[in-house]
Structure 1
Amino acid sequence: MLSSYVESVRAGFGAFVGVGVLVLLPLIALHYHRFGRVEPRRALVLYGLLAYGLVALALIFLPFPSALVCTGEQMVSTTPFRWITDMRNNLSANGRSGVVAVVTSTVFLQQAFNVALFVPLGVVLRKSYGRGPFAVVAIGLGISLAVEVVQFSGNLGAYPCPYRIADVDDLISNTAGSLLGWMIAPVALVVPAVPHPDASTAPPGTVSVPRRLLGLLMDVLVLAVVARLVFDGNRWWVVGLAVAIRVVVPSLTGGHALGGWLLRYHVRRPDGARANPARIALRELLGVTGLIAYVALAPADWWFAVDMCVLALVVVGAFVVPVFRRDQRGVPDLVADTRAVRTAEHVPAAPAGVGS
């Protein structure tokens, strides 16, 4: 029995890997559209539920029979706690008795498994979503009932008859597991609480990562065209032009680079005050301008691993980290104590703890 469970768990995790990759980008897009960021705790809970659901389904329905002979055998049990009678009969037939014999019997372990299978559901419903005991019991019962109906219908008609018994004891055990999960949820430290939507949404005036990327693309296009037509690709002039576009111009115009001016955002201090040239320069040194300078000036035979590390640090620090923060500030902004804000709005200072 244990080996079949292990194979089902493997199949469930295999399905999670494939499905998880497919839904990753849509999940990010959905979160970003709704909240203006990807809230890490929400994403963790959703991915955890996805993994749990697929593994649970694999344990419930796998293995599928390669050939099924319908003999007319009764494949539904409507007698509550029939498993206790079955266990007693089994123990009596094998001449066994006592607590050890009970807890090691196949029938008891099967029911214990049915309880344990729904414990994570109860934990998540209470700890992450704040559901009460009645809601948890109702949801657990509803899901378990749906599973039993699918089993009794031969997987919704995929098979001419059921290959597993639809059992009322499974309903009882699964529902009890949900309630047990609700009871132990406070001590489940690894399960995070999902914050209220108001605490997940980016504050007013926050400039999204896609908007900043588009502004950056405009600046890079101008840099590439001018560097090619005027400076014939001279690498020192390329670096100087990048500094002029991304540091000098914003310092003189109150934080506006060309792309930011076109898309109506600029670089300011978190409290809304003007960012001085030193802060803008530090921000760009740790961000895209620093990457442009590295690409232009680094030796052609430099170590490939170093190149990848520099690229990864800039991309992750400047464009991945902000996706998960309410204020959308990346590592360069955090170090330089700056923030990109929309120029079309009078944006208040970011509240304390806004980046969490």
Structure 2
Amino acid sequence: MLNSYLFPISYAFLFFPFAALLFTLPFLIFQYRKHGYVNKVRALVLYLFLLYLLNAFFLVILPLPTSRHNAALASGALQLVPLNFIHDILKETSVIGSEPSTYLHLLKERAFLQVVFNITLTVPFGMVLRYYFRTGWVRSILYSFLLSLFFETTQLTGIYGLYDHAYRVFDVDDLIMNTLGGICGYLAAEWLSGLLPRIEKLDENIDLSTKRVTYTRRAIAFMIDSAIWSILMAICILLHIRASFWVATGIYFMLIPWLTNGLTPGKWLVRIRITKMGERITIAALFKRYGLLYWVFFGLNSLLVGSLDNMPDIGRLFLGIVMFVMNAWFFVHVIIHMIKKDSMLFYEKISSTHHVILWHTLPEEKEKEKEKEKEPV
């Protein structure tokens, strides 16, 4: 029976890196928006929670039928009699009530172990709900029930139509035991809270005005801005605007930040902005900063690429070498500054501009946090 559990767990661990990769971007954006930075304790808890959910899901759905056209279950797909597991245990057990020495046999019997598994399955879920998400006992019970209902429905529907028939029984006892496991986890979280830092107190001594804007944060803002800027440039091209690249870049990375005091949609999303020595950003500083980066560096790349087609071989070779040297220098420049944890790249030093964290909390956000801390758990 142990092997039947190790099989899906191994799949969960294999799948975890891919799930974590998909989870990371929304996780980082949410942490930057809500807290202004990424706390290691929060990150550890949430990634462990993701790993747990994968294990729980694979334990429930694996092994899968060998064919999509599976046969219907001979005993039926529904078991709606509450506490029917007691009958199953009594029917299969070798325990004799008058002989205590036989009681340990329960630890080896399928029906009993199935009940223990169904309770244990959702204990971590209840613990995380109370410790990290600070949910009250009513919502913890409800969420534990809904998680179990999701598992049972997934099996009953043959993974929502992927298989012709249900391949496991929808058992009301599983709902009861899974919900009970969530309750046990909720109660155990009181003990867990005494061993780990209090989630609601992680930000008490954090001064966001002194925190460095990481390259990861800047990269996320850049990816979002690049996607929106590409749409703007496509519009410029459709409107037959000459020098669309330079026009779109000027509007998006110079005009908009000047009007919004250093913000673009990507920077706003991760709560950072550009400043000039702590003062409001000027159009001249933005022109110098992004003119060097986009109009000179990226613009030169664009011009060189467009010039290669109409040149002789020796000219293409020369321009290719120029492009390689220029891009290699920029790549090394960024890597060195990342290693040194120096956020001031060449165009930032020349323009005397840099990123800062938007650390001011709105009054209504403060009130919401205070009210949440007062909620009973």
TM-score by length of structure 1 reads 0.56
* Aligned-residue identity in percent: 29
Confirm or deny that 1:318 pairs with 2:341: yes
C-alpha change, 1:46 and 1:317, in structure 2 (3 Å) is: farther
Indicate if the aligned counterparts of 2:73 and 2:167 stay in contact, CA closer than 8 A.
Answer: no
Confirm or deny that 1:138 pairs with 2:161: no
Encode CA deviations 1:30-69: one digit per residue, 9 max, x unaligned. 4224433112222222212111111110000011111322
Aligned to 1:264: 276
- Distance in 1, matches of 2:155 and 2:218, equals 50
Alpha-carbon deviation of 1:93? 11
Aligned to 1:76: 78
C-alpha change, 1:164 and 1:190, in structure 2 (3 Å) is: farther
Confirm or deny that 1:187 pairs with 2:210: no
Indicate if the aligned counterparts of 1:87 and 1:107 stay in contact, CA closer than 8 A.
Answer: yes
Indicate if the aligned counterparts of 2:127 and 2:185 stay in contact, CA closer than 8 A.
Answer: yes
Aligned to 2:160: 156
Alpha-carbon deviation of 1:117? 0.6
Candidates 112, 116, 123, aligned match of 1:112: 116
- Distance in 1, matches of 2:185 and 2:133, equals 13
Counterpart of 2:163, as a letter, is Y
Matches within 5 A, 1:86-235: 86-91=88-93, 98-188=102-192, 192-195=197-200, 199=204, 203=208, 208-209=213-214
- Distance in 2, matches of 1:172 and 1:76, equals 15
- Distance in 2, matches of 1:37 and 1:145, equals 35
Indicate if the aligned counterparts of 2:96 and 2:102 stay in contact, CA closer than 8 A.
Answer: no
- Distance in 2, matches of 1:34 and 1:144, equals 29
Counterpart of 1:318, as a letter, is K
C-alpha change, 1:162 and 1:93, in structure 2 (3 Å) is: farther
C-alpha change, 1:173 and 1:319, in structure 2 (3 Å) is: farther
- Distance in 2, matches of 1:84 and 1:176, equals 16
Indicate if the aligned counterparts of 1:16 and 1:51 stay in contact, CA closer than 8 A.
Answer: yes
- Distance in 1, matches of 2:96 and 2:71, equals 30
Matches within 5 A, 1:328-339: none
- Say what the alpha-carbon RMSD is for the aligned residues: 3.9
Indicate if the aligned counterparts of 2:127 and 2:188 stay in contact, CA closer than 8 A.
Answer: yes
SS of the residue corresponding to residue 122 of structure 2 reads helix
Alpha-carbon deviation of 1:160? 1.1
Alpha-carbon deviation of 1:83? 1.0
Indicate if the aligned counterparts of 1:36 and 1:202 stay in contact, CA closer than 8 A.
Answer: no
Encode CA deviations 1:175-230: one digit per residue, 9 max, x unaligned. 1100111111122266554337975986468663459979xxxxxxxxxxxxxxxx
Farther-moved stretch of structure 1 (128-137 vs 155-164): 128-137
Indicate if the aligned counterparts of 2:8 and 2:62 stay in contact, CA closer than 8 A.
Answer: yes
- Distance in 1, matches of 2:355 and 2:64, equals 56
SS of the residue corresponding to residue 113 of structure 1 reads helix
- Distance in 2, matches of 1:212 and 1:17, equals 21
Indicate if the aligned counterparts of 2:73 and 2:166 stay in contact, CA closer than 8 A.
Answer: no
Indicate if the aligned counterparts of 1:39 and 1:200 stay in contact, CA closer than 8 A.
Answer: no
Runs of 5+ unmatched residues, structure 2:
220-273, 280-333, 344-353, 361-377
Encode CA deviations 1:129-188: one digit per residue, 9 max, x unaligned. 222222211110111112212211111111111111110110111011001111111222
Farther-moved stretch of structure 1 (59-68 vs 185-194): 185-194
Counterpart of 2:80, as a letter, is T
Alpha-carbon deviation of 1:100? 1.0
- Distance in 2, matches of 1:154 and 1:341, equals 51
Indicate if the aligned counterparts of 2:275 and 2:355 stay in contact, CA closer than 8 A.
Answer: no
Matches within 5 A, 1:229-268: 263-265=275-277
SS of the residue corresponding to residue 200 of structure 2 reads coil
Counterpart of 1:18, as a letter, is F
Indicate if the aligned counterparts of 1:35 and 1:197 stay in contact, CA closer than 8 A.
Answer: no
Which is richer in helix? 2
C-alpha change, 1:156 and 1:212, in structure 2 (3 Å) is: closer
Encode CA deviations 1:236-284: one digit per residue, 9 max, x unaligned. xxxxxxxxxxxxxxxxxxxxxxxxxx831359xxxxxxxxxxxxxxxxx
Counterpart of 1:3, as a letter, is N
Aligned residues: 235
Counterpart of 2:6, as a letter, is V
Runs of 5+ unmatched residues, structure 1:
215-261, 268-310, 321-339, 347-356
- Distance in 1, matches of 2:210 and 2:337, equals 24
Indicate if the aligned counterparts of 1:207 and 1:265 stay in contact, CA closer than 8 A.
Answer: no
Aligned to 1:3: 3
TM-score by length of structure 2 reads 0.54
Alpha-carbon deviation of 1:84? 1.2
